[in-house]
Structure 1
């Protein structure tokens, strides 16, 4: 099946794909790319330096005329991960082509553009799901029929915590603020004293359980009422907890609606950054690499634009003709400092 450029070439198709990806990650509801931002690399693998703290040692004092002390760099040992392929094709079958043949080129092109966007949405959903796995468990483990990933980044086991019997937030009498302060101290102890910059509830259900605590109820006359959201935020801030948000996003995995984060958990994370921050975050980054297809001379994509999602349209002019809109990418979220995420189950 040959590349078909009569209506749209790979450069234009890839441009549409990149815009769609950007808009998805700027949309209301947020993206975990704010904690594992997109970084584009001209390779099919990524080398990173695992860190227990993510911090650089303070510089040493120097006597005048002495040479400066040599720094230790980012880590003693580099790790390399081969970036997995993520792709999707959307065919336009013969009957659909017959219908499109009656339309103007502009209308047909719009249909192809819609297919490009759906392909990008599918790839973005897969990558967002992967970010959720890394944040939740400190690892990305996939065991599919035709593919497997087993990248364990080395997070401390103590950062996968549970409230446990007598501490579940299903009970309104449980002291939420004291428990969170204890977990925050544990997080800081494994991050060189740096406290989390953001608290993320894995669902509206988890947040509602937090806000339902008796300690937040406000006395009005001789009766009590549930607190306002602003009052809960003020109580939490007063207890020294970081700003919080609710992340309640789901994606479709093999036709099953799947929560990206565990709805029974709350997460302690570093301060969020822009989804396209080239420096990554305190936790790590989502690396998008260079596919073979992006380098095809016939696709005409400039070298600087090759890493990331790329798209092309193909046509088979044999009997039973088909047109296929394809999107190709390689990429994976990597937790270079896995201890910068903590997952706590608070609902039984």
Structure 2
């Protein structure tokens, strides 16, 4: 794992840490606490373990990249994305995998320097991906990674021309999200049984996901302090570290209150801290655990196998728009930077489109 130490008095980075102890030390410094103390309210060892484990795959990719020509520049670029740009580890890992494939392609063709990369080479690699049955979406994602890397190289003076401006990728159909009907969502929300040992927690999670449109990672990251159930709002940190405040409906409020009063106190352990949703061992629920929980209840309710936490997010947006909510408000609640991302949900509401057609077409 790569953990970057703070800058010294001259503005230089100190040594890169590669062990859990230094990671722990830095986390304590970030949280403004002495390194040799551990308040019960902040289970930083758990945070350190998650940071350590989540970076192992990225470190492995970086090591493979740095063994190739141009690998040092790509390694610095990934480091920039993670530390300076603050992108999520999974996002940086995706960029790393895409750029690793490109470096291997370049190495096989004796392209050893960034200055040798040109649009012809990139188009050749895209053709190589297409011949390997890679989906257009995968090729477009690779192109996004290459564009960002080339912009980075231009800013660093490694190349003269802004090649990112002239690269063009495949045009792809925009895939409409899967959305369940309101009755199907109600069926899912009612699928936890009161006899289940974690009924109150699971019921609160399902209700909160549908009531707020949170991503699985956002829900897993909630702390008790993020909730203001008296007035019906919660605060979450979304992609890119952007904070937003979302209203919470009464059914979700009641479910969370009951979980906080009757079950969470029984789950609290040394690693719990202020995290809202806890596992049977008292540790904070992870994004994957939230996803598995939703899948379990979806199967129990007889829902489609592809249903996930993000399906509830799609349902949240589509049902709001179908009920008359304006697009800007839905965009704000979803945490979308661009309204174009939210716009897709207007195409999912087939009933609304039929009503518009019937109302305005001269021959309905």
Q: Would the TM-score normalized by the shorter structure come out above 0.5? A: no
TM-score, normalising length: structure 1:
0.26
TM-score, normalising length: structure 2:
0.25
Q: Which has the higher helix share?
A: 2
Greater length-normalized contact order (CA 8 Å, ≥ 6 residues apart):
1
Q: Which has the higher strand share?
A: 1
